[in-house]
A and B are shown apart, each in its own frame.
Chain A
Amino acid sequence: MCDITAVLTVDLLAQVLDWLHDSRDLKSCRLVSRAFLQAERMHRRAIRPLRLGPLPVLLRRYVGSLQSLDLSSCPSLDDSALSLSIPCPNNLLSVSLSRATGVTWRGLEVLASVCPRIEAIDISHCVGFGDREAAAVAKACWLKELRIDKCLNVTDVGLAKVAVGCSRLEKLGIKWCFEISEIGIDLLVKKCLELRELDISYLKVGNESLRSIASLSKLEDLALVGCEYIDDEGLYFLSNGNCSLQSIDISRCENVTSVGLTTLAEGQQRLRKINAGNCSPVLTSTFVSKLCTLGDTLIILKLDKLQLLASALEIVGKNCRNLLEIGLSKCNGVNDEGISWLVEGCTNLSTIDLTCCLLVTDKSLLSIAACCRGVKCLRLESCVLISEKGLDQIASCCMDLKEIDLTDCNVNDNALKCLSRCSELLVLKIGLCSGVSDIGLSFIGTNCSKLLELDLYRCTAITDDGLAAISNGCKRLKKLNLCYCNQISDTGLAHLQLEELSDLELRGMVRITSSGITAMAMGCRSLTQLDLKRCYSIDDAGMWALAQYTENLRQLTISYCTVTGLGLCHILGSLRCLQDVKMVHLSWVSIEGFELALRASCGKLKKVKLLGKLQDVLSSELLQTLQARGCRIRWVNKPLVFKG
């Protein structure tokens, strides 16, 4: 057998690898030969380890070329682990420490000092972080991209540190940093003149901030979701500012009305994306007519929960011919007539969101099928008037359809039969459709082999056979929701042999037991999230199986299971990736059991949900240790209620 690298040089291999995105494909490639491994090593720029253990080996392998390191999935990451996991001479440009609650400012200072050229840091969702951490990050002076979303203790002072230290910032996310005020934003704008993307969603800042933000000449992307103190005056500042925005998200700004949107559309002529969902509900025709001026540039328009007339959609259809995505969820006035006018003009639409547009019928689907043949995503949740007739037309015309949401649409097996013609389908949601049975699923299983996500929430007619059809046909499934499908038993679960399945919800499936879980766990080894709430029959044996087979399990819900202290202790102790456990109402676990289990897990867990009564019973020293390691405990005071 000749060396394959003789004909396929490393350069060529690298080019081939450019086209491989799936981690599983890359793994197969690595396993071909040493030469392939070498090529993969030289090609790789980013790693995302799931555990800290193998990290030193990995880093040694990739240290030269590695640019991006994502440590957000690593449990028990603290300062010392962080400083050990970053090789000293490196070319790292990007590090993600999202949800790394165990890290403190010292670790961040080390990070900033050992990665001199680092350009992107993500410390979002580290809820305990404050000004000191922000100050540590600010020492990375070449930073271009920073996410500190939901670092709840960051104030204006921290933001000022960042603004002064990282004057080259281009992208900044400070979503949910509630402590930041207009003063901080004002300073940020004065110091970081290169800003292109800014997310100040949910901040309590007012129009004055928008006045200063409007002076940022390079700003293109601005997110203002849920800024309740911003109103039309602020948008007026934006429309008259120096910036030429390409994208703006003003959804959930309750005080923004059509007047503000109109001035914005007048002033910012290069807008490509507008999200005005959930603003003040009445949308006047003046705004829609102003959209004409944006005309060709606009590609995304979201008007969720606004009251608009069919005539408005007509104007949009006539003028915004390049529109790719439209969001009309919960828009009361949307009807078939409006949709037909819209799609006649906007033939390039690929995403149409009609969630809760209760007036929409099959006629809309027919016009969509006729005009927008390239549609990829259709969200039709709660469009109760649609039937298999419309879906049949969609399935036959829109062969590119990748995602369809039919939750609560009362579709039946025939509809699924039609849809199964869309062989490219990746996401299918048919939750709450009690008319769907095993027959329908068998069509899907046979034809939609590329399916990644399937939602069968409360499809109570489904039995073990249906599940078997799915698991035999859709081998690439990553997400599966079987909540409350209470006819499925252990036999059905045993069919679930899905190697790539990462997210499985089995809530309220009262008939499954530990043996079913064991069989499932053996088949689905890459499971990271599992919900077993209210699976009353699952006991310690199930836990043992999970501990043994699903090594990557990160998030686990076992509330109401009949697990004892022993099982809990074992699973919390042995699962190395486990970070988030919800264990409310574990009536079989003693207080000592909880104590031991939590001690066994110590250092890994970031989030725990426990019964409120335990707060006084568990030793305070244990709770303090947990919190010191960055674990957040949510105490729940729900009564013990058995359902189903």
Chain B
Amino acid sequence: MKQIIGEPGIDLSSDSKMDLKLTRNSESFHKPNSSNHNLNSFNQASQYFPNLSPTNFLSRAENLQQNLKTKSTNSFEPNLNSGMATQNPPLDWDPHAMLSNLSFLEQKIHEVQSLVQSIIDQQAEFSSRPSELATRQQLATADLTCIIIQLISTAGSLLPSIKNTLLSNNPALRQLVNPDFNNNLKCEGLIRNFPETARNSEYEDLLRNLDNEADWMKEPNPPLQSDIVDANPIDEHDLKESDDGDAEREHLPPGSYIVLQLEKEEILAPHTHFCVICGKGFKRDANLRMHMRGHGDEYKTPAALAKPSKEPGSDVHPVTRYSCPFAGCKRNKEHKKFQPLKTILCVKNHYKRSHCDKSYTCSRCHAKKFSVIADLKTHEKHCGRDKWQCSCGTTFSRKDKLFGHVALFQGHTPALPMDEVKASGSGQGNDDMTEDLGGYNGNFASEECLTSMDVKGIDESRAYFSPMNFDGFGALDEFGRGGFDLEDNPFAFIPSGFSQRSGDS
């Protein structure tokens, strides 16, 4: 159990590492002893929390560090006699394990309770030290996340595996029970040496869902995951290319296709790979392939699991169309004249454009707002180059737009280019210069803003992992290998942005 929960914290980047971990994890998982050991370590760890002096955060961190060290020694022991693990029958429901899980949960809840209580008690003090308050909040959040995950995985092991077939015909229901379903999947996967990436993604998704629902904390970006930051703009461009699907209105007879309706959170998550059956989104195609295994045996073949070779139409899926979750929207399946959206990318763009705030403002004109970044980028390419002006003062980037405007309004005429020459001749040259510079500055600012936005999406999910990692659901081998060098940086588990600030204070 510990490994399952701990793994989201492990770096996803290296495949070879993953393989190593995989074998070890699967070995250790099947040993009831190991979970007991872990439980012990939790108990040890939990002792620190109630006694924690709320004012002295640093001391707590040191304690935690020690705790980690003890845990590592504990957890390595069972790994030594790994022969036992393989002999245990898999998937048997173990009431002992369940009980220990529940008691762990109980303890954990107590911890969080006391932590939150301490925050409330010392609110006055925190007002002068906001950074400390943030740290506390973060810890509380991490703990809560941990509890939820534990709860879900515990519950998941209770569910019978036949549920899968029951649900498969009802996408809506499937959607409802999604987390459990995923969990079930995961259990299955573990038995078959399911690659951990899949499980990682389950957690990522899960956590993101949680994150979106609660809209918990906003975190400054640690310098992690540069690969994903780079990947994101491409993702956005993909979105841009496939439009809302408004242009081509297809005429599928109702009933000839399956209607999927994704939840708002799912839509807004930065996924690019979507399950054609349930609509769930993934950041990586590999994760999606792992996920697909849950939809039936045909997805479990090595061929299905391998990287998709570029043969289109090898397996035929039922025609699927999508519904917008916004009630009253024409793209919502309850609407009288329901017009389904063709792809998930269409759903994403439609939902963002129609039902979200336009949070991206053009840095040049400071007037146009967009909800899809790609739209903003397209606009910024042309913004500020309006050379077609109407007599009313409105400017246009294209001649046909201007003429359309002139045709619409009585008495408006296109302005002569010479007017501009005259105007600029009368001493506005300097202003233009400064405006240009301003434009540049603004542009930079916007780019910064954009990158931070991009990063945040990933980061919000990432932010939970470090503390959780710390809280000790394992991955101790990771520490041993120096994935997190705790000796050098005792605050490695805290998001880097924060650790710097606390260091300052």
Q: Which residues of A contact B (CB under 8 A)?
A: 131-132, 135, 138, 156-157, 160-161, 164-165, 183-184, 186-187, 190-191
Contacts and interface: CB of A to CB of B under 8 A. Distances in A.
B414 A161 contact: yes
A160 B413 contact: yes
Contacts of A183: 399-400, 403
Contacts of B406: 160, 164, 187
Contacts of B407: 186-187, 190-191
Nearest to A134: B416
Nearest to B409: A164
B413 A161 contact: yes
- Chain B: number of interface residues, binned into ranges: 10 to 19
A156 B413 contact: no
A161 B413 CA distance: 6
B403 A131 contact: no
Contact of A164 (B400, B411, B417): B411
B412 interface: yes
Given A164-B411, A164-B412, A156 B417 contact: no
A132 B416 contact: yes
B414 A160 contact: yes
Q: Which 8 A-B pairs have the closest CB atoms?
A: A157-B414, A164-B413, A190-B407, A183-B403, A160-B414, A187-B403, A183-B400, A161-B413
B418 interface: yes
Contact of A157 (B411, B412, B417): B417
Contacts of B418: 131-132
A156 B416 contact: no
A184 B411 CA distance: 16
Contacts, number: 38
Contacts of B417: 131, 157
Contacts of B412: 164
A132 B415 CA distance: 10
Contacts of B399: 156, 183
A165 B391 CA distance: 12
A157 B400 contact: no
Given A135-B416, A156-B414, A186-B403, 5 more contacts: A160-B403, A164-B412, A183-B400, A183-B403, A187-B407
24 contacts: A131-B416, A131-B417, A131-B418, A135-B413, A156-B399, A156-B403, A157-B414, A157-B415, A157-B416, A157-B417, A160-B403, A160-B413, A161-B413, A161-B414, A161-B416, A164-B406, A164-B412, A164-B413, A165-B413, A183-B399, A183-B400, A183-B403, A187-B407, A191-B407
A270 B199 CA distance: 79
A131 B418 CA distance: 9
Contacts of A187: 403, 406-407
Which of A132, A156, A164 has the most C-beta atoms of chain B within 10 angstroms of its own C-beta? A164
Contacts of A186: 403, 407
A29 B47 CA distance: 129
Nearest to B407: A190
Nearest to A164: B413
A164 to B, nearest CB: 5
Contacts of B414: 156-157, 160-161
A302 to B, nearest CB: 35
Interface string B407-442: 100011111111000000000000000000000000
Nearest to A181: B399
B344 to A, nearest CB: 37
Interface in B375-411: 399-400, 403, 406-407, 411
A59 B93 CA distance: 115
Contacts of A191: 407
A183 B417 CA distance: 17
Contacts of B403: 156, 160, 183-184, 186-187
B428 to A, nearest CB: 21
Interface in B48-94: none
Interface string B456-482: 000000000000000000000000000
B419 to A, nearest CB: 10
A160 B400 CA distance: 12
Which of B399, B406, B411, B414 has the most C-beta atoms of chain A within 10 angstroms of its own C-beta? B414
B334 to A, nearest CB: 41
Contacts of A164: 406, 411-413
A260 to B, nearest CB: 27
Nearest to A191: B407
A187 B413 CA distance: 10
A529 B244 CA distance: 70
A593 to B, nearest CB: 39
A186 B400 CA distance: 10
Which of B413, B417, B418 has the most C-beta atoms of chain A within 10 angstroms of its own C-beta? B413
A119 to B, nearest CB: 21
A132 to B, nearest CB: 6
B23 to A, nearest CB: 69
Contacts of B413: 135, 138, 160-161, 164-165
A135 to B, nearest CB: 6
Interface string B193-213: 000000000000000000000
A636 B416 CA distance: 36
A476 B416 CA distance: 51
A466 B2 CA distance: 125
A150 to B, nearest CB: 20
A157 B407 CA distance: 12
Contacts of A160: 403, 406, 413-414
A214 B45 CA distance: 85
A155 to B, nearest CB: 9
A187 B415 CA distance: 15
Contacts of A132: 416, 418
Interface string B100-116: 00000000000000000
B409 to A, nearest CB: 10
B500 to A, nearest CB: 57
A161 B419 CA distance: 14
A179 to B, nearest CB: 12
